Amino acid sequence: MKKVGLVLIALIILAWPLQSAEFKRIIGPVFSSFSRPWPGPFPEIYPVDFSPGSTLSPFKDNRFSFFGGLGLEFPLSGVLELEFEVLYKETGGQHRVDTGFFDSYLYEFQLKEISFPLLLQTHFWKKSRPYLLAGIDFSFILSHRCQIFYRPEVGQIQQKVMEADLKSLTRKTDLALVLGLGFEVAVNKRKISVEGRYGLGLPDLYRGPALAFEGTPVKVRSRQFLLIIGYVIR
């Protein structure tokens, strides 16, 4: 997977001269979750659901954070653009466990990653600039930690009781299919874009003991929704 990502980067750099590209800053919020609850890491207070069911929604048990980075846009025609980005993101998910009448545990999973989206933009018209986009997002996962918070009663402040490093149980790379919709406007001869982007993770991120339910493997995949503000700087 690492070799695939490096090859993609090299192809982009060599295929188009940089002087034809537009550089832009990218920033925005990200909503992320897993396709199913992450297994563990403390089964004595975390009842793991081993069923193979999963969700496509990035908002179910989501973690809210922000991301930022830089992008390069290469015009292919009047309505087509190829975009390559480098982003730093903090993603993950949450899972709440009610253990009694009033008390509960909140598990917050935090992944830090560097991602390299490669996207094709299709503009509807040359003058008006709404567009569709599709592509892939290749990521290196830098770390994965879980923080556990305990709330003794409803209405009381939850307290951090434990933290675990899950990097050894987590895949080092991720690959997602990306679909999105955006709109681009010109302000003072600069382009500003607003975009919504959905990422569907493909590989199983869990690298712990194999999980199965009635002979069906259980997999944990990433789900992300990014709300993007882009500003062309050249």
pLDDT digits (tens, 9 = 90+) for 126-173: 655 789 999 999 999 999 999 988 877 666 777 888 888 999 999 999
CA-based max dimension of the chain: 64
Domains of the chain: 2-9+25-92+112-144+171-232 (2.40.160.20)
pTM here? 0.83
- Looking at residue 69, what DSSP letter applies? E
Q: How far apart are the first and last CA of the chain?
A: 32
List of residues 6+ apart from 44 with CB closer than 8 A? none
Q: What is the torsional sign of CA 41, 46, 51, 54?
A: negative
pLDDT the model gives residue 222: 94
pLDDT digits (tens, 9 = 90+) for 64-108: 999 999 999 888 887 888 999 999 999 999 887 777 667 778 889
Please give the helix or strand (H or E) that residue 9 lies within, else none. Answer: helix 2-15
pLDDT the model gives residue 51: 54
Task: Choose among 175, 177, 173: nearest CA to 135.
Answer: 177
State the pLDDT confidence band at 38, using cuts at 50, 70 and 90. confident
C-alpha–C-alpha distance, residues 175 and 113, integer Å: 12
